[in-house]
């Protein structure tokens, strides 16, 4: 039996349960959601309007809305005070987003 394998299993098992791993998972979820939203919306608007500036601006708005949605739904951020412009929360309420749980 390999003693290093047991140590590695123990360390990896503890890491999965640690708060650092949970925060890293939240950061990945925030980044992934924002990137997908930005790329999709910016690309769609750029193709339809022909303006890269309008596409990027619209993509940034949609990315911020998705990030706020992930942040609000996370158990890790429960009880944290976050200040955002009123327009962001209004836009979030009017945006049709889909939550996918894997």
Q: What is the residue extent of each domain of the chain? A: 3-94
Residue 102: predicted pLDDT:
67
Contact 65, 91 (CB under 8 A): yes
Burial category of 60 from C-beta neighbours within 10 Å (exposed 0-12, middle 13-18, buried 19 and up): middle
pTM summary value: 0.72
Residue 99: predicted pLDDT:
74
pLDDT, averaged per 10 consecutive residues of the chain (102 residues), comes to 70 72 89 95 95 95 91 88 83 76 70
Residue closest to 58 by CA, chosen among 36, 42, 44, 46: 42
Question: How many H-runs (helices) and E-runs (strands) does the chain carry?
Answer: 4, 0
């Amino acid at each position: 039996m390999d003693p290093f394998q047991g140590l590695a299993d123990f360390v990896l098992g503890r890491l999965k349960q640690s708060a650092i791993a949970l925060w890293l998972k939240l950061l990945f979820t925030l980044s992934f959601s924002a990137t997908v939203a930005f790329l999709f919306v910016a690309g769609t608007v750029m193709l339809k309007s022909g303006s890269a500036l309008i596409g990027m601006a619209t993509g940034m708005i949609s990315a911020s809305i998705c990030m706020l949605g992930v942040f609000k739904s996370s158990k890790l951020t429960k009880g944290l005070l976050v200040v955002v412009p009123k327009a962001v929360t209004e836009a979030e309420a009017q945006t049709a987003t889909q939550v996918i749980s894997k």
